[in-house]
Homo-oligomer: A and B are copies of this chain.
Amino acid sequence: MTAAEPTPVPDLAHIDGTIRIESHPRPVATPIIMDRLRSVYPHHQVFGEFCTVQGYVDAPPRELFDWLSDTRSLEEWTYSLRGFRETDEPGLWVAQDRLGPATEIYTRTVTNADAMTVDYHCAWDQGEHLWMVYLMRVVDAQVVFDRPGSVVLWTNCHHPFYEENPFPDKAPAGRPVWVGDFWDMFSAGHQLELDNLKAIAEYRHSHDLPLTPDWMRK
């Protein structure tokens, strides 16, 4: 392959906080990097501001994406979201989050079939401001792991409303919990739910069942 001459790139050394090979050659940068590696990392550093879980699923990525794209798939692979009904606002669903007594959760699922992103925009108690955002993405494992199947990436960001319920008037009277009380358990909780997702998808794929069950296609 031939290639044109590269464009000369203006220097960036005037921007504080950059570490580039020109200003920090390998003998300078390597100890900086080594100094940031740890044998262990504290929970808060790994799962404080973001909660990301990810995993391999032995099922075809396109079918997996299609299943997850249906809001009702949450009824299957989540721990506690049940009884999904579409509201009279198209695409906005309401369900119970059985983590809380008498707690409704609203969900609007935003997907992109080309990028295979599946974002669940959710909130407890009200459907006007969907601030609990589950950012998910299905990736073809052939591309990233050289094997058939899927990779699922899943990130939640620690939105400030997790710290304090912005709509206390919408909560059922006397509810003893707020969804943000569970933030510190999200890492293990979401891994558990990703394990559910994997178990269900792999069961169906290995039994030649459609990943999206018939009842969900109706």
Contacts and interface: CB of A to CB of B under 8 A. Distances in A.
Interface string A108-150: 0000101101000100000100010101010100011110000
Contact of A192 (B32, B49, B89, B146): B32
A167 B191 CA distance: 36
6 contacts: A6-B85, A7-B84, A7-B215, A10-B215, A112-B112, A146-B161
Q: How large is the interface on A (under 10, 10 to 19, 20 to 34, 35 or more residues)?
A: 35 or more
Given A151-B157, A192-B19, A43 B38 contact: yes
Given A1-B89, A94-B3, A185 B37 contact: yes
Contacts of A198: 17
Interface of A: 1-10, 12, 15-21, 24, 26, 29, 32-34, 36-43, 46, 49-50, 52, 54, 56, 72, 75-76, 78-80, 82-89, 92-95, 98-99, 112, 114-115, 117, 121, 127, 131, 133, 135, 137, 139, 143-146, 151, 153, 155, 157-161, 184-185, 187-189, 191-192, 195-196, 198-200, 203, 213, 215-216, 218
A126 B123 CA distance: 47
A30 to B, nearest CB: 8
A75 B145 CA distance: 26
A15 B46 contact: no
A2 to B, nearest CB: 5
Contacts of A144: 133, 135, 157, 159
A4 B199 contact: no
